[in-house]
């Protein structure tokens, strides 16, 4: 790929293509991708290498777009590639201007910084973009602060997965930045997680860094995703324990294999989490009658009780008392001391 000297271009290509920071699947055959903030085309190249059928790129910066245009000629003819030199925001905006800024020594470009109707550029609304493309397998966002408005305003009913880099917005005079300017990445991430949940998306936060003002997350649609079976996993979740870690690994693997995974999280208090599946909070050290609510919401094909043998015995008693009749599996550590064979 063509990169510019003395810029972050090379590092971007390394992290996106070689390091796969967006956790792209190995096989993307037949997928449709929308790339907002395409930069010089590293993400598009990574998707094309994996067999994506169509990629639609939007890049506001004319300098980066010029390099994107050059790099687009290296994309396989098997992938339909469209590139557009436009900014994308939550709603259609006018009076936007490019600003070249630095964050922690790294140059970036955003499209804030002036008042509406003052002769600046006009953006595309995210819903117009999604309406044009249709069904989207992966929507990628990395647009120096405009992501927040896109995610809060977008209709993602036809989007299966969103991968994004979210950035804090330190300054700016445009009306579209007034609600997020100066807020911490943690506070905005919590609010976003709740908002995305209302849109039918489960948010998985992978990293949050207050120092760099950036976080990365994945949002998976719970509506558009097809699953073969529904499982309700009951056990530790969202806490620091060996049981929780084991449950995370198993549930993530089941999710990757197409299961519709829900977890009734023992000890989980409802904070944002990084898992791609739903976790219902118990806020207690054991399950209680509220498990009925989770069972009614999930309608599981199977329930898994994960814990030591005594916890599993207690949980079985709860299920029986609540007349929850569902195939149930107990998952108990084989090295647990004093395992009772009658449980």
Are the CB atoms for 99 and 173 separated by under 8 Å?
no
Alpha helices in 134-205 (DSSP H): 146-153, 185-198
Q: Where are the beta strands (DSSP E) in the chain?
A: 32-36, 54-58, 80-84, 88-89, 99-103, 106-110, 124-125, 136-141, 159-167, 201-209, 214-221, 230-236, 260-266, 278-281, 302-306, 328-331
Model confidence pLDDT, tens digit, residues 19-61 = 998 889 889 999 999 999 999 999 999 999 999 999 999 998 8
pLDDT (tens digit per residue) in 157-191:
889 899 988 877 665 555 556 666 667 777 777 77
Is the per-residue pLDDT at 339 higher than 60? no
CA angle 204, 191, 215 (to 5 degrees): 50
Percent pLDDT > 70 in the chain is 80
pTM of the model: 0.65
**Mean pLDDT for the stretch of residues 238-258:** 86
Q: How much of the chain exceeds pLDDT 90, in percent?
A: 31
pLDDT bracket for residue 224 (50, 70, 90): very low
Q: How confident is the model at residue 228 (pLDDT cuts 50, 70, 90)?
A: low
- In this prediction, residue 118 carries a pLDDT of 47
User: Tens digit of pLDDT for each residue in 205-216?
Assistant: 766 455 555 677
Q: What is the pLDDT of residue 212?
A: 56
Buried b (16+ CB within 10 A) or exposed e, 126-158: bbebbeebeebbbbbbbbbbbbbbbbbebebeb
Closest CA relative to residue 216, chosen from 197, 247, 189, 256:
189
- Paired tokens of 7: 């810029």
Q: What is the Cα–Cα distance from 216 to 95, expressed in whole angstroms?
A: 29
């Amino acid at each position: 790929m063509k990169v510019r000297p003395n810029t972050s271009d090379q590092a971007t290509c390394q992290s996106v293509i070689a390091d796969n920071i967006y956790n792209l699947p190995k096989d993307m055959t037949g997928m449709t991708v929308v790339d907002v903030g395409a930069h010089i085309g590293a993400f598009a190249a990574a998707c094309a290498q994996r067999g994506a059928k169509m990629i639609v790129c939007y890049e506001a910066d004319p300098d980066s777009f010029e390099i994107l245009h050059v790099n687009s000629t290296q994309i396989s003819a098997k992938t339909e590639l469209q590139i557009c030199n436009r900014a994308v925001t939550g709603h259609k905006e006018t009076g936007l201007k490019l600003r070249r800024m630095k964050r922690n020594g790294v140059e970036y470009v955003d499209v804030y910084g002036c008042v509406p109707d003052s002769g600046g550029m006009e953006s595309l609304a995210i819903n117009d973009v999604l309406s044009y493309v249709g069904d989207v397998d992966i929507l990628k966002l990395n647009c120096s602060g405009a992501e927040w408005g896109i995610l809060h305003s977008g209709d993602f009913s036809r989007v299966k997965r969103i991968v994004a880099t979210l950035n804090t917005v330190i300054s700016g005079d445009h009306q579209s930045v007034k609600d997020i300017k100066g807020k911490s990445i943690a506070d905005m991430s919590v609010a976003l997680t709740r908002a995305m949940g209302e849109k039918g998306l489960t948010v998985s936060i992978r990293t949050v860094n207050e120092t760099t003002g950036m976080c990365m997350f994945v949002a998976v649609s719970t509506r558009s995703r097809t699953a073969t079976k529904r499982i309700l996993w009951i056990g530790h979740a969202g806490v620091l324990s060996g049981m929780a870690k084991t449950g995370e690994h198993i549930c993530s693997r089941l999710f990757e294999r197409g299961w519709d995974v829900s977890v009734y999280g023992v000890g989980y208090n409802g904070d944002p989490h990084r898992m791609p599946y739903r976790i219902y909070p118990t806020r207690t050290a054991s399950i209680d009658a509220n498990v009925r609510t989770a069972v009614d919401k999930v309608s599981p094909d199977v329930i898994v009780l994960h814990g030591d043998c005594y916890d599993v015995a207690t949980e079985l008693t709860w299920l029986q008392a609540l007349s929850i009749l569902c195939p149930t599996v107990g998952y108990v550590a084989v090295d647990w001391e004093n395992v009772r064979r009658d449980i």
